[in-house]
Chains A and B, each alone.
Chain A
């Protein structure tokens, strides 16, 4: 490392360089502050022994369990062998061998199609796409192949043992190609399951469900949580059922629905609403986007009469649109106010404007005020 450090951080240069700048300018230090407060979950008592893990460690732990239990299971993608750019596969090549945990050439369509092939012959395939933003070269393989394999072959063949993992969402500085939330793009495709966890405990249980589910699954990991979200996570395997939303905070006045990082924003909004408006919010984590759990949402809306849905992805044709439509179809007479969508704007995700374009707690709070005051 010394040589490299010497090359890059020559001390003298650094001093010369920055002492001047510091004097002359009020520095605008680039802020990595996040736009939410993370509230850890507590593990279920019956899941046994736990240890402190962040999100990438809990995903690592899930894949460790999957590789251990199933000798057909393999894990692959770009830079996976050395641990992956987000460290999710760290140590697994050494533990399970390079024929089970390996690098692929740099081709997303290749990675997904390779995974489909493995799954067709009965192997458990865990494919990593380095960023959800880069899943699109594989769009054809996912939408036309993986999603339709079982259907078009009359159930002679299927690729249900394929799970595609990809980091998604805003991270403070990712701009348009390291920030996208792509769930809606895949939620429009019958045959896929799409899952997004809100933290380490959820991630492990949901990922193991995806890996063992008999349908191709897309598991989107909010990358801002990889290091920042830390919980006591059970070390042994356990699953959390797919297609079941979870009420993470009970309330009676307004229902707030989200998933992934946005759940934490909603939790904060619920606190703000309680403190500042004396309004009680029920917060629902959707967890599985497709096929989604409509009943949990509907039951809540029947109770509260007000619904705010929020996600980072652009509002037009975002998943909030689907939920809002279904709720007005089924619960029209229960509604006390128009359903609100607080989502990303209909623009590519911009670099320096991130603080202005996120559906942050103040924007969601405004929506809560709106449905209350309607």
Chain B
């Protein structure tokens, strides 16, 4: 009896381990749902503690994480742009694939130009998305355009897919009078109510438990939509990340937590960030359906997100996706990554494995794309970006009075008084304030 039990228990311990070794088609890891039939457990031989339902063992056995195999990475397309298992081909139309490619490369072009413009002192700050375009476009394409997005900051491609215009990007970065955020936040803090994208906030991971709450609201509203929350593997260390995942699981919220694991949080490599098997391994701990995907494979990202969305909506439960990728650019314009990683490492990824090159190969293999098309698109996209850039640079900044609005729904008396004092003061000292660059005060 004893031996039997412990063998059984041993097996139970390694269920997770086995679950990790599923074939690529079964890319979700579903934690076993706890049995609710209490009668089953009224027995000496089975644990009845309210906090856990499993089996007793009579030999001490620690679980050693390093003895478990890593969670596999789901992939559809290899680095040569070939579909590995034809049954996994998402079968997207030529039109969709070309839009995916164009959005990824447009994002890339915009990044180069805005990065450069920061270097020249034309905008105050910028963050590029180099190397991670596949995670943005692949996931965005799989969602309902009305699913609500809570982003971190390096997800500009999601907005681009949804139709945020180059003008809108540029106006935000310049803080121009046309910026939807009214010039209040640093560059790349985009947001769009029309595109169901909640405005970015700098403090990390704060959006994560908010996403759980929003998803709970969606569930109660029965609107058939889910919430998608993007976050970095660094941000996943914040306390808010724990709250987010645990709330989502226990309150059964239809939310996809999409982790971009790009290897770094500024200079901090994943080795200093966590010692588990990435972020995906945490999903099981929270009782969440989980998958890990090759983030540089846009089709795999697309498929996993689409399937995750189904689970969210059908089962009203959260799904955790960990997309493995690499941050090819510096963290931001304030960072020089050569101080903490080798040029060789970066150029290896840039040469060997970018989502853009992979999709281009796929398109060429299909006969959908060639050098001429590439050249023409490069020229066109640059031109479009430059036009939007020039327009934004030519625009004035918003009326300085706008810094006092939206603090509250209404302007309280004391803030109104401060606004009046500001106007009076600036009027009296107008030579000392850069009024020419701003729209006129009332």
Which A residues lie at the B interface, using CB under 8 A?
1-4, 7-10, 13-14, 16-18, 20-21, 24-25, 27-32, 78-79, 81-83, 85, 102-110, 133-134, 136-137, 172-178, 315-316, 345-348, 350-353, 355-357, 362-363, 366
Contacts and interface: CB of A to CB of B under 8 A. Distances in A.
Contacts of B265: 78-79, 106
Contacts of A30: 121-124
A82 B328 CA distance: 19
B203 A133 contact: yes
A363 B266 CA distance: 38
B403 A356 contact: yes
Contact of A173 (B125, B239, B338, B418): B125
A345 B338 contact: no
A347 B407 contact: yes
Contact of B415 (A7, A14, A31, A345): A345
B366 interface: no
Contacts of B112: 8, 10, 13
B368 interface: no
Contacts of A175: 184-186, 189, 202
B151 to A, nearest CB: 15
A348 B382 contact: no
Contacts of B390: 20-21, 24-25
Contact of A3 (B334, B350, B426): B350
A362 B429 contact: yes
A345 B404 contact: yes
Given A4-B330, A175-B202, 9 more contacts: A3-B343, A7-B350, A27-B122, A29-B120, A136-B203, A175-B185, A315-B418, A353-B403, A362-B432
Contacts of A110: 237, 239
A29 B422 CA distance: 25
B437 A316 contact: no
Interface in B249-294: 265-268, 272-274
B386 interface: yes
B393 A177 contact: no
A100 B239 CA distance: 24
A137 B123 contact: no
A29 B124 CA distance: 10
18 contacts: A1-B343, A2-B343, A8-B116, A10-B112, A13-B116, A13-B382, A14-B116, A16-B382, A17-B116, A21-B390, A27-B122, A29-B121, A79-B266, A103-B267, A137-B239, A345-B422, A347-B404, A356-B426
Contacts, number: 196
Given A352-B175, A353-B400, A345 B418 contact: yes
Interface residues of B, number: 76
B349 to A, nearest CB: 10
A109 B343 CA distance: 34
Question: Which of B390, B398, B407: most chain A Cβ within 10 A?
Answer: B390
B389 interface: yes
A25 to B, nearest CB: 5
B150 to A, nearest CB: 16
B318 interface: no
A28 B237 contact: no
B190 to A, nearest CB: 13
A85 to B, nearest CB: 6
A350 B122 contact: no
Nearest to A29: B121
B157 interface: no
B185 A105 contact: no
Contacts of B186: 173-175, 177-178, 351
B101 to A, nearest CB: 19
A105 B125 contact: no
Contact of A133 (B202, B350, B403, B432): B202
Contact of A106 (B237, B397, B398, B403): B237
B425 interface: yes
B434 A346 contact: no
A346 B386 contact: no
B234 interface: yes
Contact of B183 (A7, A78, A352): A352
8 pairs of A and B residues whose beta carbons are closest in the complex: A3-B347, A173-B124, A177-B202, A352-B175, A105-B237, A352-B183, A353-B403, A103-B272
B422 A17 contact: no
A201 B80 CA distance: 58
B295 interface: no
B64 interface: no
B78 interface: no
B433 A355 contact: yes
A173 B338 CA distance: 24
Given A29-B121, A134-B203, A82 B339 contact: yes
Contacts of A355: 433-434
Contacts of A17: 113, 116, 382, 386, 389
